[in-house]
Structure 1
Amino acid sequence: MALIEDQTYQPTILVIDDEKRIREGCYKILIKENCLVEMAENGESGLKMLGEKHYDIILTDLMMPGIGGMEVLAKVREQHPDSVSIVITGFATLEHSIEAMKKGAFDFIPKPFTPDHLRVVVSKAIQMT
């Protein structure tokens, strides 16, 4: 099953995570699925990129130095309400989940995750765009 049914459509995805291996792993998986993927190493860089361009899907870590994922979620919801936000985190608690959903998160991907899990969640998000 293809991640994207319409192969002429290339969703734009921004991956915001302070862990280089997570950013690059997501990038490698998603570009193979016909996605246009850009990366930011922290919340500040991610928000700057969001200020310059619209992304269909934003994958953000929750716990990052400086601006964290909750603030990123709030800004995405405010500036790009039609974008779909997905939280990637190694700190998934019920409280974090509830707060992130209130700030507009579509789904959660707990770390560590498999390539298939990422594909499934992003595929669902693509259907929302």
Structure 2
Amino acid sequence: MNKKLLVIDDEQIVLDSVKRILSKESYNLTLTTKSREGLKLALSEDFDLILTDIKMPEIGGMRVLRDIKREKPETPVVILTGYATVQSAVGAMKLGASDYLEKPFLPDVLLRTIEKVISKNEDNDPEPQGMIHHEEILKILDRTDKDNDFVANLFYYGSEALEEYNLTSAEKLAILTGDIKWLEQNIGELKPAHKRWLEQRLSAEIW
């Protein structure tokens, strides 16, 4: 079966370029210039890979990434970025993006990236769904209140700083993005100190 790809970018010229480059490949392509529509498609259908621009007028690519990884953590996402937003793309990698491509990209670079990300994702063991690690999450939140080095590592290294903990991708994402609502829905009411730190995380990012 052909692999299904979703590409979200508000510039039609980028979508046309991707379509042209992939025209001779066996991919089933869905393209949209509207980020809100793209996010809806990403959450309602199953794709083997999603490519999304980072700067878009309706919903930014970081928000698209966050919502996809929250609902469908196994779906790989590649960030498309202009030179001015490379730093944001690196930040997206910390939140679970599989890779990023700097625009304009060469055809062979696009093809290699797509093949690499899909192949790597197929080799990964599926993550258990619906599992919530209450104690691990609370350990991390307690640690943020007294370990400044750990907090700095979370900022600079993102999900890599949480590798020693037994967490799902959705749990890591909720901690890194300060998603208080998700955390309280899944582990109960948080301590005021935990909320304060998470609010700082939320205010540090632009969704």
- Given the two structures, how large is their TM-score scaled by the length of structure 2? 0.55
Q: Is the 8 A contact 2:53 2:80 kept in 1?
A: yes
Q: Which has the higher helix share?
A: 2
Q: How many residues get paired?
A: 120
**Higher alpha-carbon Rg:** 2
Measured after TM superposition, the shift of residue 52 of structure 1 is 2.3
The code of the aligned residue for 2:34 comes to N
Counterpart-to-counterpart distance in 1, 2:103 and 2:75: 22
Counterpart-to-counterpart distance in 2, 1:22 and 1:63: 13
Q: Is the 8 A contact 2:7 2:15 kept in 1?
A: yes
Counterpart-to-counterpart distance in 2, 1:48 and 1:64: 15
Counterpart-to-counterpart distance in 2, 1:24 and 1:93: 22
1:103 to 90, 95, 99: 95
Q: Which residue of 2 aligns with 1:93?
A: 86
Over the aligned positions, Cα root-mean-square deviation in angstroms equals 1.4
Counterpart-to-counterpart distance in 2, 1:26 and 1:76: 21
Closer, same or farther in 2 for the Cα pair 1:89/1:98, shift >3 Å?
Answer: closer
Determine what percentage of the aligned residue pairs are the same residue: 36
Counterpart-to-counterpart distance in 1, 2:2 and 2:23: 10
* Gap regions ≥5 residues in structure 1: 1-8
| Structure 1 residues 104-123: aligned runs within 5 Å | 104-123=96-115
Measured after TM superposition, the shift of residue 28 of structure 1 is 2.4
Q: Is the 8 A contact 2:8 2:35 kept in 1?
A: yes
State the structure with bigger RCO (CA 8 A, min sep 6), 1 or 2: 1
Q: Which has the higher strand share?
A: 1
* Gap regions ≥5 residues in structure 2: 123-207
Deviations 1:87-110 (A, max 9, x none): 11113333x133201221111100
Moved more, 98-107 or 108-117: 98-107
Secondary structure of residue in 2 paired with 1:97: helix
Q: Is the 8 A contact 1:18 1:64 kept in 2?
A: yes
Q: Which residue of 2 aligns with 1:47?
A: 39
- Given the two structures, how large is their TM-score scaled by the length of structure 1? 0.86
Counterpart-to-counterpart distance in 2, 1:77 and 1:30: 25
1:76 aligns with 2:68: yes
1:30 aligns with 2:22: yes
Counterpart-to-counterpart distance in 1, 2:89 and 2:81: 10
Q: Is the 8 A contact 1:54 1:80 kept in 2?
A: no
Counterpart-to-counterpart distance in 2, 1:65 and 1:97: 17
1:19 to 8, 11, 14: 11
Counterpart-to-counterpart distance in 1, 2:23 and 2:97: 22
Counterpart-to-counterpart distance in 2, 1:31 and 1:84: 21
